[in-house]
A and B are shown apart, each in its own frame.
Chain A
Amino acid sequence: MAAEARVSDFTGKAHVALNDPKLRANFRRAMDGLMTKRAAQFADPEEWATLRARGAAIRADALARLPELLERLEANLTRNGVTVHWAESTEEANAIVLGILREAGATRVIKGKSMVTEEMHLNAFLEANGVIPVESDLGEYIIQLAGEAPSHIVMPCIHMNKGEIAELFADKIEGLGYTENVDELTAAARRALRGRFADAQAGISGVNFAIAETGSLVLIENEGNGRLSTTLPPVHIAVTGIEKVIERLEDVAPLLSLLPRSATGQPITTYVNMISGPRKPGEKDGPREVHLVLLDNGRSKVYGDTQLADTLRCIRCAACMNHCPVYTRVGGHTYTFTYPGPIGKILTPQLEGLDCAGDQPHASTLCGACAEVCPVQIPIPDLLARLRTEAVKPSSDAVKGGGSSATLADSLGWAGWKALYSSPALYGLASRALGWFGNLMPASAPMLRTWTAVRTKPKFAAKSLHQLAREKGFSHD
C-alpha cells in the first residue's frame, strides 16, 4: 500500500494548535520537565564538551565510511545467523516484512517502539494484509488505541494528559473503569499486553545502533517491551535506516552516555539490549529467526551532499524538539510527517521533497537551541538555511523538489531589491516615496499581506535616517 500522499500544512495546523490550551499545557509541562532533567545530566560543561565531540566524531566517521561499514555489518550479521534485507523504499520494506511474516505463517505480531516503522506506515500496511500488529511500548499502545500518530519521537503520547488516557482505557480495555491512577493504568496495560506477547508469532523492533565490527543490534528502552518483542516470539524482525551503523563495539559506550541523558535526562535506560543472532542450539529461549531490514527511503540521496549528510548523524534523542520554542508551542502533529521538531524540519523535506514539505525549514526562528543541545553536533540552523535556499535556488539536484518554491513574483521582488540597494539615487527616491505614501498603503495590499497576516504593519517615518542626518549637519559621507 502506498502511503497516501501528504502535504505539509504547517501554518494552518500551527494556528489550530496554538489555540488549543490543553495541548499547549501538555507540551509545556513535558518539555519543561525534560529540559530540566537533561540540564542536570550535563551540569559539567567540560564533560559535555568532550563527550559530545567524541559522539559527533563517531557518527561522522561512520558516515564517512558508510558503504564499507554496511557491507561489514551485513557480513558479520550473516555470519551470526541474522538474515539481512535491503529496501530502497518504504513500500519495499513493507513488502519484505510481510514476506517474512507470511513465510513464518505469522498473523499476530507484537511491536517494540520504532520510528522507522512509523515512517513506513507499517501497521496500516500489515492490517490491510491480514496481520494484526500490536504496539507494546505504553505510549505507542495508547496512541494505537486512540488511532493517532506519535507526536514525539521518544514519548509518543506526550500530547495527551492523564484524563484523556483514562477515558481511552476505560473505553477500550475490557473490565477497566475510569481511573486517573497512573499505577493502575500501567498495570492494566501490562495485563492487556502480557497475553499478546505470549501469543505473538513474530516481534518487530527498531534499532538504536547497529555495530559493524561484531554484527550486533543495540536497542535501548525502559519498559522491557523491546526485550520481550525481540526475545519471546519465534521470529524477530528488526527494521532500521541505513544510517544507524557504527563501526566498533566500544563506540557504544560514549553514544550510550549521550543518548538517554539527552533524551529523558536518565543516566542510562533500564535496559540496553544487544542482540547478536538468533537462538543457538542448546539455548532455551530467544527467536529462532532474526532478520534485519535496512531501509534507504531517500537517505542515500541525502548522503550525496556532504553538508546535508550531517542530518544522518542523528541518534534520535529528541533533545532538539524538547528545546525548540516552536515545537513546544505547536506539538508534534503540526509537522504532519513522522519526524517532528528541528530534526524533522531538516529530515522531512529531504526524504519527502521540498515540494511537499518545503514550509518546514521556515517553521523556525533559527534561535540555535537545537544545535546547542544536539549530542552529535548537527548544525541544524545551517541546514535549515541551506534548505530554504534549495527551495528557491537549487545548487544542484541535491534535494528532492529543489526550486519548487521559486516564483516569478519572488524573483522580480529580489531583482527590484537588488536594483534599489545598488543605486543610492533610486534608494533615496524609494525611501522618500514610502515616507510620503507608505502609510496610505493598506495592510491588505498584495505581497504586503503575507507579512502583515501575522504582524502589525510598520509605520513609515516621514523622514529617512539620511534626511535626519543631513538636517543635523552631517555631511553626505
Chain B
Amino acid sequence: MTDANASARDRILARLKSAPKRPAPPRPDWTPPAFGSERKARFKAMLEASHAEVHEVTDESWPERLLSILGNKGARTLLYAPATEAGRRLSDAWSDGGPALLAYDRSVEDLKEVLVHQADAALTTARGGIAQTGSLVLWPTPDEPRLMSLLPPIHVALVNEADLTDSLAETIRAQGWATAMPTNALLVSGPSKTADIEQTLAYGVHGPKELVVLLVGPEGARP
C-alpha cells in the first residue's frame, strides 16, 4: 500500500468513525425452509426446472451411465481429474469407444487450449447439494480445479444423496464453512444462461450449455 493509499484509508475510516453512532438492530428470527422426506424430490425438481438433467445412479453403475449419456450427446472428449477417487474409477471403467479422456493434470497456463477450445465435457464431484434452490456445492481442489465446471460445454457432476441438505444456511452450519473457506467455493444451479436479449432464455452463453447431475444413491438401491 502506498502512502497516498494509506491516507485515503485513514481519511475514509476517520469519516465513518466520526459519524453519529447508531444502534445495531437485533436480527429477527428467520428459519430457512426444511423439506423432510421431500428433500431429494425437491432437489431434483428445482434442478430440472433450471434446465439441468438429473440421473439417479449407484456407486457401481455411474461410470457406465456416464458413458452412455455422453455417447448420446456426441461428446468427443471428457476432461477429468485423474488424482481423485472419482477420476480413478472413471479411467478404470472407461471403454475405448467412449469420449477421449483429457486429464487436468497441470496448470491452466499449460492446458489453456485444451480447456478453452477442446474439451467437450468435464466430470467433477460436488461436495453437496441444496434442495431449496436445486444447487450443487462445489469446492474446487488442487486435484479438481475450478475451470473444470466452467469451460467445457457439458458439465457432469457427481453428488451423493447423503450429502444433500435443505438450505444453504444448513450447509454452511453443518459443514463448518465459516472457519474453513477454500480459495473458491461455488454454488451451481443449472447450466450457464442469459436473458439479456428481450428476456428470452438462452443457455451456454459463457459456461456449460448443459449440466448433468449424477445423483449417487445408497449402495444397492435401484434407481
A residues whose Cβ falls under 8 Å from a Cβ of B: 29-30, 33-34, 50-51, 53-54, 57-58, 60-61, 63-67, 70-71, 83-88, 92, 96, 136-139, 142, 155-157, 161-162, 165, 182-183, 185-187, 189-190, 193-195, 197-198, 213-216, 222-225, 227-228, 231-232, 242, 248-250, 252-254, 256-257, 264, 267-280, 282-286, 294, 296, 300-301, 303-304, 306, 309
Q: Is the CB of B146 within 8 A of A231?
A: yes
Q: A64-B22, A136-B206 are in contact. Are A54 and B145 (CB under 8 A)?
A: no
Q: Is the CB of A57 within 8 A of B142?
A: no
Least CB separation from B18: chain A residue: A304
Whether a CB of chain A sits under 8 angstroms from the CB of B162 is: no
Q: Is the CB of A284 within 8 A of B194?
A: no
Q: Which one of A92, A249, A252, A282 contacts B142 once the chains associate, using CB atoms below 8 Å?
A: A282
Q: Which one of A33, A60, A136, A267 contacts B25 once the chains associate, using CB atoms below 8 Å?
A: A60
Contacts of A270 in B (CB 8 A): 50, 188-193, 207
Whether a CB of chain A sits under 8 angstroms from the CB of B150 is: yes
Q: Is the CB of B183 within 8 A of A277?
A: yes
- Give residues of chain B (170-188) contacting chain A, Cβ–Cβ below 8 Å: 172-173, 177-178, 181-188
Contacts of B8 in A (CB 8 A): 86-88, 92, 296
Q: A30-B199, A61-B27, A253-B32 are in contact. Are A198 and B116 (CB under 8 A)?
A: yes
Task: Please give the distance in Å from B213's CB to the nearest CB on chain A.
Answer: 14
A223 to B209, CA, bound (A): 10
Q: Is the CB of B12 within 8 A of A50?
A: no
Q: Is the CB of B206 within 8 A of A253?
A: no
Known: A187-B204, A227-B150, A272-B186. 5 other contacts (CB 8 A): A84-B1, A223-B207, A264-B195, A285-B107, A309-B19
Q: Mark B9-31, 1 if CB is under 8 A from A, else 0.
A: 10111011111111111111111
A253 to B137, CA, bound (A): 14
Contacts of B72 in A (CB 8 A): none
A276 to B168, CA, bound (A): 18
Q: Is the CB of A271 within 8 A of B188?
A: yes
Q: Is the CB of B191 within 8 A of A86?
A: no
Q: Is the CB of A300 within 8 A of B202?
A: no
Q: A88-B11, A268-B133, A285-B108 are in contact. Are A306 and B196 (CB under 8 A)?
A: no
B residues whose Cβ falls under 8 Å from a Cβ of A: 1, 5, 8-9, 11-13, 15-32, 46, 50, 104, 106-108, 111-112, 116-117, 132-135, 141-142, 145-147, 150-151, 167-169, 172-173, 177-178, 181-200, 202, 204-208
Q: Which one of B13, B133, B199, B204 contacts A190 once the chains associate, using CB atoms below 8 Å?
A: B204
Q: A60-B25, A61-B27, A249-B178 are in contact. Are A285 and B145 (CB under 8 A)?
A: yes
Contacts of B202 in A (CB 8 A): 182-183, 185-186
Q: List 9 A-B contacts (CB under 8 A).
A: A57-B27, A197-B116, A223-B207, A270-B191, A272-B135, A280-B142, A285-B145, A296-B12, A300-B19
A61 to B27, CA, bound (A): 8
Q: Is the CB of A225 within 8 A of B9?
A: no
Q: Is the CB of B28 within 8 A of A57?
A: yes
Contacts of B181 in A (CB 8 A): 214-216, 249, 274, 276
Least CB separation from B177: chain A residue: A249
Q: Is the CB of B185 within 8 A of A274?
A: yes
Q: Which one of A223, A267, A283 contacts B132 once the chains associate, using CB atoms below 8 Å?
A: A267
Q: Is the CB of A227 within 8 A of B207?
A: yes
**For the complex of A and B, 9 pairs with smallest distance between CB atoms:** A224-B207, A139-B196, A54-B30, A253-B169, A272-B187, A186-B202, A86-B9, A285-B108, A64-B24
A416 to B141, CA, bound (A): 74
Q: Is the CB of A86 within 8 A of B30?
A: no
Q: Is the CB of A186 within 8 A of B16?
A: no
Q: Is the CB of B169 within 8 A of A248?
A: no
A269 to B190, CA, bound (A): 9
Q: Is the CB of A271 within 8 A of B19?
A: no
Q: Is the CB of B196 within 8 A of A137?
A: yes
Q: Is the CB of B186 within 8 A of A214?
A: no
Least CB separation from B141: chain A residue: A283
Q: Is the CB of B25 within 8 A of A57?
A: yes
Q: Which one of B25, B26, B198 contacts A162 once the chains associate, using CB atoms below 8 Å?
A: B198
Contacts of A213 in B (CB 8 A): 178
Q: Is the CB of B106 within 8 A of A284?
A: yes
